[in-house]
Amino acid sequence: MNKLLATLIAGLFATSVYAQTQPTVATGASGMNGTTASSTTGNADADKDIAKADQKEAKEMSKQNEKIEKASAKASEKKADAQAKADKKVAKAQEKVAKADPEDRAKASAKAEEKIADANYDAQKTMIKADEKAQKKIVDANADKAKAHAKGNEKRAEAMAEAHKDAAK
């Protein structure tokens, strides 16, 4: 339970960090007061480096978004499979109760309740594991996205600094 809680908290943190950095990535901004870097430099090499950094960052963001979607889809599929399996067990147990002789029906009903409880527990356990695994992958992907964003900012800042050095000459 502690691992699950820690994973969920880490995912929430990573998501909030990503959410704060998202607008600059979505607009293609350089991270410097919301303007695009290419409009602030007159240096072709710096503009080229900035565009390259933007492109690399966007590619990494897309790759990590695909990982997140894939992890979420896989978790949903596992959860649906677990629920379907539990539903089959429940239906089978209820069918046995319905087919039982009237004098054995109470005993069959008690046995069915136990099987239903076990089936639901197994399904919930599988669902929790699927969510936990997906959350771990999502946290990792969000961390990679944050790293890519930071690396993009670094490259853009280096290009801007180089452009300013060249302009000062």
Q: For 57, list phi and psi in degrees, rounded to 5.
A: -65, -45
> In angstroms, how far is CA 83 from the centroid of its own chain?
22
DSSP 104: G
In this predicted structure, the answer to whether residue 14 has a pLDDT above a threshold of 90 is no
pLDDT in tens, 82-103: 999 999 999 999 999 999 998 9
Query: Domain extents for the chain?
Result: 2-168
* Token duo for residue 46: 């710096």
CA pair distance 19, 92, nearest whole angstrom: 47
- Integer-rounded Cα radius of gyration of the chain: 27
Orientation angle between helical segments 2-26 and 44-99, nearest 10 degrees: 140
DSSP string across 42-94: --HHHHHHHHHHHHHHHHHHHHHHHHHHHHHHHHHHHHHHHHHHHHHHHHHHH
pLDDT band at 6 (very low <50, low <70, confident <90, very high): low
Task: Report pTM.
Answer: 0.65
pLDDT band at 4 (very low <50, low <70, confident <90, very high): low
Mean pLDDT to the nearest integer, 97-120: 93
> In angstroms, how far is CA 133 from the centroid of its own chain?
10
pLDDT band at 39 (very low <50, low <70, confident <90, very high): very low
CA pair distance 167, 169, nearest whole angstrom: 5
Q: What is the model's pLDDT at position 12? A: 65
Q: Which residue has the tokens 């072709």?
A: 44
pLDDT band at 28 (very low <50, low <70, confident <90, very high): very low
Q: What is the model's pLDDT at position 30? A: 41
Long-range contacts of 33-40 (CB under 8 A, 24+ apart): 37/156, 37/159, 37/160, 40/160
